[in-house]
Structure 1
Amino acid sequence: MPATIDFYLARVAQCDKEAQETNLANVKERCLRSKAAWQIMSDRALLVQIDRKRQALDKMRKKDEHLD
């Protein structure tokens, strides 16, 4: 997993921890919004990684087809 996705997931965990530890409603809401935003960024980065791997596999398959 690339460092970027690890970074995003670490932020998700940190925001979740902070949300659970606070008693202040506005701080909890802010932490949960931040958690959601980091999770979206992580999900998108993972989708990009999957798509790049899929494209590389397709490229290799096409190359193999031409060699046959």
Structure 2
Amino acid sequence: MNDIETYRAHAAEARAAAANTTLRNRREMHKRSAMVWETMATSAEENRSKAAVNLAAKTNARD
């Protein structure tokens, strides 16, 4: 499992925890946690994409 999959799995766990609690403050805490994990996953995807573009540019510059 890569980092992006791990972050998405944590987000899913947090959403499930939010759905299973009856305490409003705990539910909101789990929802915020899920949003943070999703943000981390999105950021990791963007970084991976940018790294691929940079690598391609470096490879093309050498050719």
Unpaired runs of 5+ residues, structure 1, are none
- Return the TM-score normalized by structure 1: 0.83
Q: Which residue of 2 aligns with 1:20?
A: 19
Matched, 1:10 2:9: yes
Aligned amino acid, residue 43 of structure 1: T
- Which protein, 1 or 2, shows the higher relative CO under an 8 Å CA cutoff with sep ≥ 6? 2
Matched residue count: 63
Matched, 1:54 2:33: no
Q: Which residue of 2 aligns with 1:38?
A: 37
Which SS does the other structure have where 2:22 is aligned?
coil
Identical-pair percentage: 25
Deviation >4 Å, runs of 4+: none
Unpaired runs of 5+ residues, structure 2, are none
